[in-house]
Copies of this chain bind each other. A is one copy, B any other.
């Protein structure tokens, strides 16, 4: 039997467009003589559809489009993911369609409701596993998380059921999985291990068809796979739409896959930017280049994602900007062949200072004046955005967001925070990777000590511990939920330091709440999936 796993990139809510993509996949399946076309989880609605599935007229429209898909399946079978309603209860389901007939719905049993997932907000759990006889095979159909519990790789869930184990007594000859499994660094290896574990237990091949594409903060990497108990047999491309044509039970060679996690990270961010713009109907981005590493990396990613002709870099110096900053910003723009412009913020800065002088009187210069500079830059970028239809890219990283080392309505301005889920050290790693065969980012930008240049000779290290320390605490506390005591002991840091950093993380919740959405690349991003109150007194 031949199965075409169609790794498509749906747009949330675009039922018409997604239906077309699904029907085109069916046609490709037919052309390639597939017996069955497998599509991702929620392929029809896009994932995650969020509160759209609370709208009754949205659900009605899902039904109308499902009918259209069914009528396009003459002579072929299709398994497609969608929300379905039965007696007012909603399920996250797969429709098994064959030759113009809806054969059956299969409902997702394990509903992830942690981090970025909210499935129990919308859905009830499916009841039973079952195996579907089709062309001599016994096909088990599962949806995303249903495959994961069996692997033991889910850390923080306590599901009462293990659908893979339950399927064992049904003796499937192949297991199909519809996924919308988001990217995070090294997630692919985990996902492949999950499939191989199921293949071992069930003694049959596993085909996982994953969604690809960016939806707001979430990046779906694709990388659909065909595995057996011994390893990966086939793998679709990452970060693009792709088909995997599987000939079941043929003698197969196993792939040895070594992927560079930094290259994946780069591709993930590029796709995240590209899809955010394309799906919103924008083409052009502007950003402030500071001569520092963060904005340099964002410029490189934007040029790759949107084309250099669509990126406009502004160097916005103040009295505190070093000459090297201008030199490097300009050189970077030349290297990337992006539009470059210098616009001094001194005149508006002076104007604010003299307007406020009578009110500020003899108050000392402090963070107020630093924030003014950052906010003037934000305003100028937003003015260009408004006048010329560019979206502003925000350049802050996760370590800064954790510490609140950023200005609300200043450098936090923007439509998308490209590096908002990367630690400072990951930003450095990405910069080195970008420069792997030639200088794109000027080397001095990478080597200089980080500075916001908002006062004379300022260095980030004046107000913050080393980024290495911040990054470790952020990872241990934000991503791994360890206690301050555990963290202090693990890294041999003073407990007071760790407590102070954790306090800062919570205190700056108010800034992050108004920050642009950040592309998620870790298991726990600030932008989505981490939910803490602003008003609290735990720390």
Task: List residues of chain A with CB under 8 Å of any chain B CB.
Answer: 11-15, 17, 46, 48-52, 54-58, 88-89, 113-114, 118, 120-121, 124, 156, 158, 214-216, 275-276, 279-280, 341, 343-344, 347-348, 350-352, 354-356, 359-360, 363, 366-368, 371-372, 375-376, 378-380, 382-384, 386-387, 408-409, 413, 415, 481, 483-486, 510, 513-517, 530-539
Q: Which residues of B contact A514 (CB under 8 A)?
A: 514-516
A387 touches B372 (CB 8 A): no
B382 touches A536 (CB 8 A): no
Known: A121-B113, A215-B533, A533-B216. A354 touches B359 (CB 8 A): no
B12 touches A51 (CB 8 A): no
B535 touches A11 (CB 8 A): yes
Q: Which residues of B contact A534 (CB under 8 A)?
A: 216, 280, 517
A355 touches B347 (CB 8 A): yes
Give complex CA distance A380, B514 in Å. 18
A383 touches B409 (CB 8 A): no
Q: Which of A375, A409, A533 has the most CB of B within 10 A?
A: A533
Give complex CA distance A15, B58 in Å. 43
A415: shortest Cβ distance to chain B, in Å? 7
**Selected A-B contacts with CB under 8 Å, 14 pairs:** A12-B537, A51-B532, A121-B121, A216-B534, A343-B359, A347-B355, A348-B352, A351-B351, A368-B383, A368-B387, A372-B383, A382-B408, A409-B413, A514-B514
B343 touches A535 (CB 8 A): no
Nearest 3 Cβ contacts at the A-B interface: A13-B538, A14-B537, A57-B483
Give complex CA distance A343, B356 in Å. 9
Q: Which residues of B contact A124 (CB under 8 A)?
A: 158
Nearest B residue to A46, CB-CB: B536
A414: shortest Cβ distance to chain B, in Å? 9
Q: Which residues of B contact A531 (CB under 8 A)?
A: 50-51, 118
A488: shortest Cβ distance to chain B, in Å? 12
A149: shortest Cβ distance to chain B, in Å? 14
A535 touches B355 (CB 8 A): no
Give complex CA distance A537, B58 in Å. 12
Q: Which residues of B contact A113 (CB under 8 A)?
A: 113, 120-121
Known: A13-B537, A121-B120, A537-B17. A368 touches B386 (CB 8 A): yes
A383 in complex: contacting residue of B13, B216, B352, B538, CB < 8 Å: B352
A125: shortest Cβ distance to chain B, in Å? 11
Since A49-B533, A366-B386 are in contact, a sample of 15 more A-B pairs with Cβ atoms closer than 8 Å, ordered by chain A residue number, is A12-B536, A13-B537, A13-B539, A54-B114, A57-B483, A57-B484, A57-B485, A88-B158, A121-B121, A215-B533, A360-B387, A367-B386, A371-B383, A409-B413, A513-B517
Q: Which residues of B contact A50 (CB under 8 A)?
A: 531-533
A380 touches B356 (CB 8 A): yes
Q: Which residues of B contact A354 (CB under 8 A)?
A: 347
A121 in complex: contacting residue of B118, B343, B378, CB < 8 Å: B118
A388: shortest Cβ distance to chain B, in Å? 8
Q: Which residues of B contact A375 (CB under 8 A)?
A: 379, 382, 409
A348 in complex: contacting residue of B275, B351, B517, CB < 8 Å: B351
Give complex CA distance A538, B55 in Å. 11
A536 touches B13 (CB 8 A): yes
Give complex CA distance A481, B52 in Å. 10
